[in-house]
Amino acid sequence: MNTLSTNNIKISAISKYEPEQSFPGKGKYVYSYWIKIENKGDLSVQLLSREWLIKDANLMIREVKGEGVIGKQPKIEGGGFHQYSSWCPVSAPVGQMTGKYKMKRMIDDSFFFVEIPLIPMVYPPLKN
């Protein structure tokens, strides 16, 4: 599991290969990923949007931007957390995701960004 802390927000992330959804012979490798967002500060925050940069070994690069995560813009109290899972397809056996969340401090409506740690995606037969 990879973790990264920015502005009192700790992000933990891990990926898992999904063989039932993947078709390696057709260049489709699907990974699920799980993310935990921990508010290590005292003030409540809200996750407003996300930006992902997805790369794979075929030199395919995609940017994904959108509001919230899985259709939600969660508020996270000081000392609290939010976790979710989603998925990502890539066209090669090796890939990676990284990105950032745009957050809002509830006390004064000011904005800040939180970095998401690198999430590696490696086809299990290649590990060793």
* pLDDT at residue 126, rounded to an integer: 82
Give the model confidence (pLDDT) of 1-26 as tens digits: 999 999 999 999 999 999 999 999 99
Residue 128 domain-assigned (yes or no): no
Q: Domain range spanning residue 50?
A: 2-118
Q: Is the pLDDT of residue 118 over 70?
A: yes
Residue 78 domain-assigned (yes or no): yes
Q: What is the DSSP string of 74-91?
A: -EE-TT-EEEEEEEEEES
Q: Is the pLDDT of residue 128 over 70?
A: no
117 within 8 A of 5, measured Cβ to Cβ: no
54 closest CA partner among 5, 9, 87: 87
Residue 16 domain-assigned (yes or no): yes
57 within 8 A of 98, measured Cβ to Cβ: no
Q: Is the pLDDT of residue 119 over 70?
A: yes
CATH number of the domain at 13, please: 2.60.40.1470
Give the model confidence (pLDDT) of 74-108 as tens digits: 999 999 999 999 999 999 999 999 999 999 999 99
Other beta carbons within 10 angstroms of residue 86's beta carbon come to 13
Give the model confidence (pLDDT) of 42-61 as tens digits: 999 999 999 999 999 999 99
pTM passes above 0.85? yes
How many structural domains does the chain have? 1
